[in-house]
A and B are shown apart, each in its own frame.
Chain A
Amino acid sequence: MNKVRSMTPPKARVFLLLILAGLLLAILVRQTWMRGMDRSLPPPPGSSLTLRSLEPKKSLRLFYASPEEDSLQEEIREVKAGRGIDEEARTALAELIKGSHSGLLSPIPPGTRLRQLYIDSQGIAYADFSPELRDHHPGGSRAELLSIYCIVDTLAYNFEQIKRVKILIDGSEVDTLAGHIDLRRPLKPRIDFERPG
């Protein structure tokens, strides 16, 4: 051991130590940073200000009823990109609820809020709405189809991880919104109601 020591000049040893310490520091910093990312903590206030102009955008395809109410038509809307799919999916539904900017009809009854949204490992999105979605619904299978599939399509066509959508009201399962379409199971997207599927 002494032999080894004597073979290494003190300067080189200090240098080696410094490199090692540097490496260690780099790993530590990176790990803390990664952990921060994991928990999706927001960036420190200073950095977000300077980066605002470079904020990534996401363009959403929002589905509204065509003027003839025989199909859903998409409207493109740019929003701030979110941190992760859950947040972006919530944003998409919040934007959908706001209504169309291009004169299409909104099939979501006024006053409806999205309470919760989560996506499970099988690609089923559970979208939980406030009771207005059901209680202020005009009824009729046509209006009901539009209300349900504007939600299902907006989620499924914007996020390919989402395969099917289950609509909940006030945190609970419901049979239907207005007495027609079966909501007991998650639904797949569809735009056109005129052609038999």
Chain B
Amino acid sequence: MRVPYLLRIALLFLFVAVLACDSPAAGTIEVFMGEKKTIIPLVPVMEREYLPLDHTLKIIQAKYQELPGRRVKVLLEGIPFLLREGLAKVSREGTENISLSAPVLIFRGEWAIPMDLFSFLLKIRYGDKVWWDKEGRRVRVGQTACSFISLRHCSYPDHTRVVAELARPLNYSWKEEPNRVLLQLEKGFLSPAIQDRAIADGFVRSIRVTQDWDSCAIEVSAVDPHPEVKVFSLKDPPRVVLDIYKGEGRRVEGQVRSEGKNEASAAVHSPKIKVVIDPGHGGEDSGAVGPTGLKEKDVVLDIGMRLGQLVESRLGMEVIMTRSDDKFVPLQERAAIANTAKGDLFFSIHTNASLHGRTEGFETFFLSYEASDSEAREAAIRENNVVNLEGVNPRYAASLKTVLWDMVQNEYINESSQLAEIIQSELDKVQKVVNRGIKTAPFYVLMGAAMPAVLVEVAFISNPEGERLLREESYRQSICEALLQAIAEFKGHLERKMGTQGESESS
């Protein structure tokens, strides 16, 4: 008695289960939204796959309303779309018609839509943030947890560095093909902000990014058919770095290094301090513009060039200008110029602008040790390969780099802040307006410079009186004299430091 009863229950269960499984036997579409996965069961109608309208629209947060005449109105992102049973098209109320591969149907009393209508609706709802797998069975939509946060590149004299910054360490692999390097990031999900870019710096033509189902790829189009490629990863924040050299890259690099060594040993005997002067903006970028049209780019170029001449003639220092005419120099190139020249001091000159015209004064900025700054600058400089530990056992290199980095970082910050103080007090002597003091902010141009670096805002060009003064040659000259004094004072500090270094090296 007991056994047959249980059997009966089991049979009933089986029956129900079979019933339940019957309709979605055709397959499913999996929709991934962030961590959430939703399954839409497909409805097979005459060997075609359809999606149930009701279920599908709930997932993409659209509403619908049945209208007389076997029509249905779908409301998505505030846009009404009309569907009619038996018609293979969707019309955006009043305007365009989009044809579909199959007609919209009512099947077993439920509205059913063809696959391409679903992908059309996803596009409306999520724009370009829709990724289908190859079979069209899975789709990832919206802001997924992007693991590939940003893509940077930097051009150097002998190579181009491409950096993929990640949210967490990812497995990666790369393929080298003629004129092409393909870096694949497993579980890499592109931030929608990352876009393809043209570089054309002599090593790399362009970078393209592509998203696959659960990986993404960076395709670097190289100028050299067989470029020398170096790929490695860095921590904190996790990054994958791709260096592209010319085919004979290693040898060229070697030459550069040995030259560098000679320079360094020569420098010990007669240290010549190098000042990098960076007049802000230029070319198409006018910078701030005064109330009567005076342009920042012209004022700071004049001040920069004057200062450069003074520093060379009066202080006998070597001057490197990031620009010496009215041309556009990208921000990252400015730091690259300074680093390539192995500058001892980076000096960026700007004029300020405020929201309204009354604000006046002068201020000097440097990068602080504040977490976001230091982290960013650390990344920028590490990528610039300042702390070069080639030849060191890789097991120790990472920790050694961190320790060295902290020391270098502290030194730069201290020196930058000292220099900023000196500049402010020297400018104070020649300016009548308010001394706004020294400040820190994450300035792009200071970020990549591997040396003490400051950015001085000599006056407000947006202030009518400030603009009038900046037009006067004598005023600009007085600012240059003040900046020269500041550099002279800082030079003493640098020489003392270099002197002690020289002694310790020779001993």
Partner of B441 from the list A1, A107, A166, A193 (CB cut-off 8 Å) is A193
User: How many angstroms from the CA of A143 to the CA of B61 in the assembled complex?
Assistant: 40
Q: Which residues of A contact B455 (CB under 8 A)?
A: 141, 180
* Contact indicator B287/A193 (Cβ below 8 Å): no
- Which of B143, B280, B286 gathers the greatest number of chain A CB atoms within 10 Å? B143
Q: Is A182 within 8 A of B444, CB to CB?
A: yes
Is B437's CB under 8 angstroms from A194's CB? yes
B53 to chain A, nearest CB (A): 16
Complex-state Cα separation, A195 to B368, whole angstroms? 11
A196 CB contact (under 8 Å) in B368, B457, B462: B368
Q: CB-nearest residue of chain B relative to A187?
A: B372
Residues of chain B lying within 8 A (CB to CB) of residue A1: 1, 5
- B: interface residue count bin: 35 or more
The residues in A between 164 and 188 inclusive whose CB is less than 8 angstroms from any CB of B are: 164, 166, 168, 171-173, 175-176, 178-182, 184-188
Say yes or no: A142 contacts B370, CB within 8 Å.
no
A122: CB under 8 A from chain B?
yes
Within 8 A of B (CB), among A32-80: 39-41, 65, 68-70
Q: Does A102 contact B (CB under 8 A)?
A: no
Say yes or no for B443: interface residue by CB 8 A criterion.
yes
Residues A143 and B192 in contact, CB atoms below 8 Å apart? no
Task: Count A interface residues, CB 8 Å.
Answer: 47
> Which positions 109-134 of chain A face chain B at CB distance < 8 Å?
118, 120-122, 126
**Nearest CB of B to A5, in Å:** 12
B289: which A residues are within 8 A, CB to CB?
Answer: 139
Residues of B within 8 A of A118 (CB): 143
Cβ-defined partner of A142 (8 Å) among B1, B359, B368: B359
Contacts of B440 in A (CB 8 A): 196-197
Smallest Cβ distance from B76 to chain A, in angstroms?
13
Q: Which of A69, A180, A195 contacts B354 (CB 8 A)?
A: A69
Contact residue among B167, B195, B417 (Cβ-Cβ distance under 8 Å from A122): B167
Contact A143–B444 (Cβ < 8 Å): no
- Would B193 and A180 count as touching, CB distance under 8 A? no
| Bound-state Cα–Cα, A92 to B75, Å | 26
User: A145 within 8 Å of B by Cβ?
Assistant: yes
Report the tally of A-B residue pairs with Cβ distances under 8 A: 138
Which residues of B lie under 8 Å from residue A171 when comparing CB positions?
192-193
B74 within 8 A of A: no
Contacts of A172 in B (CB 8 A): 193, 195
From 149 to 202 in chain B, residues with beta carbon under 8 angstroms from any chain A beta carbon are: 150, 152, 167, 191-195
The reply to whether the CB of B21 lies closer than 8 angstroms to some CB of chain A is no
A162 interfacial contact with B, CB 8 Å:
no
Q: Nearest CB to that of A106 among chain B residues? A: B355
Q: Is B359 in contact with A68, judged by CB distance below 8 angstroms? A: yes
What chain A residues lie within 8 Å of B331 (beta carbons)?
Answer: 175-176, 179
Q: Are B355 and A69 in contact (CB under 8 A)?
A: yes
CA distance A176 to B350 in the complex (A): 15
Do B355 and A180 have beta carbons less than 8 Å apart?
A: no
B375 partner residues in chain A, CB cutoff 8 A: 185
Chain A residues 81 to 98 lying within 8 A of chain B, measured CB to CB, are none
A191 interfacial contact with B, CB 8 Å: no
Bound complex: CA of A126 vs CA of B145, how far in Å?
12
In the complex, whether A140 has a CB less than 8 A from a CB of chain B is yes
Q: Which residue of A lies closest to B442 (CB)?
A: A182
B111 within 8 Å of A by Cβ?
Answer: no
B residues within 8 A CB of A146? 355
Contacts A1-B1, A69-B356, A185-B372 given: A138-B145 contact, CB under 8 Å? no
- Collect the chain A residues with CB atoms within 8 Å of residue B447's CB: 182
Supposing A175-B331, A184-B150 touch, asked if A140 and B195 sit within 8 A by C-beta, the answer is no
Q: Measured between alpha carbons, how far is A182 from B192 in the docked complex, in Å?
A: 19
What's the nearest-Cβ distance from chain A to residue B119, in Å? 20
B457 close to A141 (CB less than 8 A): yes
B-side contacts of A188, CB under 8 Å = 370-372
| Docked CA distance A165–B288 (Å) | 25
Contact A143 B193 (CB under 8 A): no
**Residues of A close to B145: CB separation below 8 A:** 120-121
Q: Which residues of B5-62 have CB atoms within 8 Å of chain A's CB atoms?
A: 5, 34, 58, 61
Contact pick for A107, options B143, B280, B355, CB 8 Å: B355
Q: Could you pull out 14 A-B pairs where Cβ atoms are within 8 angstroms?
A: A40-B61, A41-B61, A69-B359, A107-B355, A120-B146, A122-B167, A126-B143, A140-B288, A142-B354, A175-B331, A181-B444, A186-B372, A193-B439, A196-B439
Taking beta carbons and an 8 Å cutoff, which residues of A are in contact with B?
1, 39-41, 65, 68-70, 105-107, 118, 120-122, 126, 138-143, 145-146, 164, 166, 168, 171-173, 175-176, 178-182, 184-188, 193-197
- Which 10 A-B pairs give the minimum distances between C-beta atoms? A140-B353, A139-B288, A182-B444, A197-B370, A140-B288, A173-B193, A118-B143, A196-B440, A182-B442, A197-B368
> A140-B460, A182-B442, A184-B444 provided; 19 other pairs, C-beta below 8 A?
A41-B61, A120-B146, A138-B355, A139-B288, A140-B288, A140-B354, A141-B441, A142-B353, A145-B441, A171-B192, A173-B150, A176-B331, A176-B444, A178-B288, A180-B444, A184-B150, A187-B372, A188-B371, A197-B370
B residues lining the A interface (CB < 8 Å): 1, 5, 34, 58, 61, 143, 145-146, 150, 152, 167, 191-195, 280-281, 285-289, 296, 331-332, 350-356, 359, 365, 368, 370-373, 375-376, 417, 436-445, 447, 455, 457, 460-462
